[in-house]
Amino acid sequence: MDKATAIDLYRVMRRIRDFEERATVLFGEGKLWGTIHSYAGEEGIAAGVCAHLRNDDWITSTHRGHGHCIAKRADLGRMYAELLGRETGYCRGRGGSMHIADTSKGNLGANGIVGGGIPIATGAALTAKQLGTDQVAVSFFGDGAVNQGGFHESANLAAIWKLPVIYVCENNQYAESLPVKRAFAVEDISRRAEGYGMPGRRVNGRDVRAVYEAAGELIAHARRGGGPAFLVADTYRHEGHYYGDPRKYQTKDEIEGWKTRFDPLVDTRTWITDTKLATQAELDAIDAEVIEEATRAVAWAEAGPPASPIMLPGDVYASY
C-alpha cells in the first residue's frame, strides 16, 4: 500500500473516532437529544471499504451511521449541525443522527430500521445496471440485519440479476443485546453467501488493510459486471448499543478486554509506523489536524440557525 492511501485510511479512521467522542461529549452536555450510536471500534470497515468508492457510487448506512457518512466524505460541519438540530444540518434538523444522508456524495442515508438500507442499495445497483454505468452500491449493516427478511430477499435479487452491490456486514458481536452466538447457528456468517450464489468473504475488521484489500477485490469485481458479494468484517463496538446503554448483557471484563485488544486505530498506527510508511510524528500531526478540523466544524455548526419550522406539504412531498 502506498503512503497516501495508508495516511488517508488513518485520517478517516481518526476523524470517525474523534467525531464519536465529540458527539458523546455534546450529548452529555445536553446539546444533543434523542439517541446516538457510536461507531468507535469499527472505523476500519467504513474507511477500508469507502476508500474504493467514487462520489457517484452509493452507500446505504445504519443507525450506527456516522462512520460510513464520514468515510463517504461528508462535511463534518453539516453532520454536527444535524445532530444539533440546525437548519444548516444535512437534513435541516428533520432527520438527526439516524437519518443523515448526503445524496451529493451518494450516501443514501443512515437508517433507523435494522436492515432497511439493504433493499435500497440493491435498487441503487439496479439503476447502475439498467443505465449501463459502472457505478456500484455498498450496503453497510450489522450482524442483526442478516437475520432480516430484507437481507435474504435482496441478496437473492442481486444474485439472479448480477447487480453491482456489495453487502458489508459489520459483525460487532451483538444485535443490540443479543450475542451473535445466540442469533446464528453458523459460526461464519459469510457462509450464507453460498446459498445465494455469490462470493462470501470474512475479514478481521480490526485490520483496515484486510478490509481494504477484500473490499477492493469485491468492488472491482462488481464494477466489471461480475455481480454482488457478501463481505463480513468481524469487529467490536467499544460503546453500548446506544449512548447510555447500561450494557447489562456484557461484563466489565469483556468490555475492557475487548477495548484493549481491539482497537483498529492503535493497530493502524502500529502497522503504518512499523512499515515506515509514516512516522509517529506525522501521525500525531494528522491527529492535530483532525482535532482542529473538528473544532472548527462544531463551532460552525453551533453558530448555525435552528432548524426552520416544518412547511407543509413542501417538506414532505416534492409536489402536491
Residues that bind other proteins in the complex, under the rule CB under 8 A: 58, 60, 89-95, 99, 101-104, 108-109, 111-113, 116, 118-131, 137, 149-150, 153-154, 156-157, 160-161, 313-320
The neighbour count for residue 82, using CB atoms within 10 Å, is: 28
**Smallest distance, Å, CB 159 to other proteins?**
11
**Smallest distance, Å, CB 320 to other proteins?**
6
Q: How far apart are CA 68 and CA 211, in angstroms?
A: 14
Question: Given the complex with other proteins, which of 59 and 208 has the nearer CB atom?
Answer: 59
Q: How far apart are CA 49 and CA 210, in angstroms?
A: 10
Judge whether 231 and 201 are in contact, CB under 8 Å: yes
Cell numbers 476523524 label which residue?
15
Question: Given the complex with other proteins, which of 47 and 121 has the nearer CB atom?
Answer: 121
**Smallest distance, Å, CB 154 to other proteins?**
5
294 to each of 19, 21, 269, how far by Cα in Å? 7, 11, 20
Question: Given the complex with other proteins, which of 147 and 250 has the nearer CB atom?
Answer: 147
142 to each of 9, 176, 263, 312, how far by Cα in Å? 21, 10, 18, 35
**Smallest distance, Å, CB 124 to other proteins?**
4
The neighbour count for residue 135, using CB atoms within 10 Å, is: 19
**Smallest distance, Å, CB 138 to other proteins?**
12
**Smallest distance, Å, CB 297 to other proteins?**
18
Q: How far apart are CA 40 and CA 55, in angstroms?
A: 24
Question: Given the complex with other proteins, which of 134 and 188 has the nearer CB atom?
Answer: 134
Question: Given the complex with other proteins, which of 260 and 319 has the nearer CB atom?
Answer: 319
As beta bridge partners, residue 306 has 86
